[in-house]
A and B are shown apart, each in its own frame.
Chain A
Amino acid sequence: GAGVSQSPSNKVTEKGKDVELRCDPISGHTALYWYRQSLGQGLEFLIYFQGNSAPDKSGLPSDRFSAERTGGSVSTLTIQRTQQEDSAVYLCASSFTTSNYEQYFGPGTRLTVT
């Protein structure tokens, strides 16, 4: 079946502009996660959604970052007033539930802020 898909694959934006990154999880997966991988860094958790519960936003680095998940499926990560330090690969993952099932990752969106 289809895996996790993300769009766009690459995004170049000017400092100060807003960007939206999209994630389409695997069908039937109730949990959805966003992570960020900066150059030379490990993966950093941003936010997680489980069903209709309130999302866990504890990893969002600032109030410029927000995310929503519509209809329990597609998710959009929005970064307002982008800064150069926001340049990174943004990875989305999904899993069946929040029990100990593996998370399946999408190909990522490479964001470059100039």
Chain B
Amino acid sequence: AQKITQTQPGMFVQEKEAVTLDCTYDTSDPSYGLFWYKQPSSGEMIFLIYQGSYDQQNATEGRYSLNFQKARKSANLVISASQLGDSAMYFCAMRTTGFQKLVFGTGTRLLVSP
């Protein structure tokens, strides 16, 4: 079975600080992809970053980076220099070659304060 676990229901960070959102996953498929999505209050899911299971380096996209620790089955999202506009729900998701659907975690609500 494929499973994503996000243990932080809510996180608080001050503007310009860095924050790490945790994600652990479980799969027996050796080939998989890990995704992070942002869902602001408007409701739309916005793709942030992707990490493939065979990628040697951690993915980075601007202020977003993915701390991929394969042995620990973790794929934490790091947001550097937080901005007020980063306040949103963040979902970690996984897709395996055996199951093309995305399996989502329950999300983490991030609140960035001035």
Interface residues of A (CB under 8 A from B): 31, 33, 35, 41-43, 45, 48, 50, 56, 59, 89, 91, 93, 98, 100, 102-108, 110
In the complex, residue of chain B having the shortest beta-carbon distance to the beta carbon of A103: B102
Asked whether B106 is an interface residue with its Cβ less than 8 Å from the other chain, the reply is yes
Smallest beta-carbon distance A71→chain B, Å: 21
Question: Chain A binding site: helix, strand, loop or mixed by DSSP?
Answer: strand
Chain B residues lying within 8 Å of A105, measured Cβ to Cβ, are 37, 44-47
Smallest beta-carbon distance B50→chain A, Å: 6
Q: Judge whether B102 and A107 touch: CB under 8 Å.
A: no
In the complex, residue of chain A having the shortest beta-carbon distance to the beta carbon of B102: A103
Asked whether B13 is an interface residue with its Cβ less than 8 Å from the other chain, the reply is no
- Interface size of B by CB at 8 A reads 23
Interface residues of B (CB under 8 A from A): 32-33, 35, 37, 42-47, 50, 52, 91, 93, 95, 100-107
Q: A105-B45, A105-B47 are in contact. List 16 more A-B contacts (CB 8 A).
A: A33-B101, A41-B106, A42-B91, A42-B107, A43-B102, A45-B103, A48-B101, A56-B101, A91-B45, A100-B95, A102-B35, A105-B37, A105-B44, A107-B42, A108-B44, A110-B43
Chain B residues lying within 8 Å of A59, measured Cβ to Cβ, are 101
Q: Could you tell me the distance between the alpha carbons of A41 and B107 in the complex, rounded to whole angstroms? A: 9
In the complex, residue of chain A having the shortest beta-carbon distance to the beta carbon of B32: A100
Which listed residue (B33, B46, B103) contacts A100, Cβ 8 A? B33
Q: Could you tell me the distance between the alpha carbons of A50 and B100 in the complex, rounded to whole angstroms? A: 10
Which listed residue (A31, A102, A106, A107) contacts B47, Cβ 8 A? A102
